[in-house]
Structures are given as C-alpha cells and as structure tokens.
Amino acid sequence: METREKIVFAGLPLAVYREIAAHLRTVTGVEVGFTEQTSTEFDYNQSQVGGLWIDYGSSSNSQTRQWVKQILAYYQHRYGV
C-alpha cells in the first residue's frame, strides 16, 4: 500500500524544489513529484510549483521515512523554511 504525503516550503524557488526532489529520489522505496502552483497571479516571491508529493511504496519502512525526514530537515534548516 502506498502512502502519499504533500510537502510545501513557502517561498522556495523551483531550483531548490528540484534539488530536494533529486535528493529524495536517492532513497529506496520513495517516489517524488511536484504539485502545481495554485495562485492565479504571478509573484516573484512565490515558487513556480506548489510543493512536492512523496509516495512511500510497499518497499518502504521506518528507516525510509527517517531518511526522508532527515533530508527535509536539512533543507528546512539550510533555507530557513
């Protein structure tokens, strides 16, 4: 059974979201993609994406979730979000 989680870091640029996604894709049992930006107005202070979705596949376990949590914590600390 797969579990999907949505992650949003307000104000991060697309390049950083792509970096996070690439980092998360190195974790076995995890699939990552982007959610659409829901704003109808362009704003330089908003990202071009709404956030990330993370799917934990049937091969994921508690260690998988711990690695994902550590990766996300790193980016939260690095970018102050």
Local confidence pLDDT in tens for the 81 residues of the chain: 578 999 998 888 889 999 999 999 999 999 999 998 887 777 766 668 889 999 998 888 999 999 999 999 999 999 988
Looking at the chain, the whole-number percentage of residues with pLDDT higher than 70 is 94
pLDDT of residue 1: 56
- Would you mind telling me the total number of residues written for the chain in this entry? 81
If one counts the domains in the chain, the total is 1
Two structure tokens written together for 31: 């699939």
Q: Which domain holds residue 55?
A: 5-79
pLDDT of residue 3: 86
| Alpha-carbon span 38 to 29, nearest angstrom | 28
pTM over 0.75: yes
pLDDT of residue 31: 96
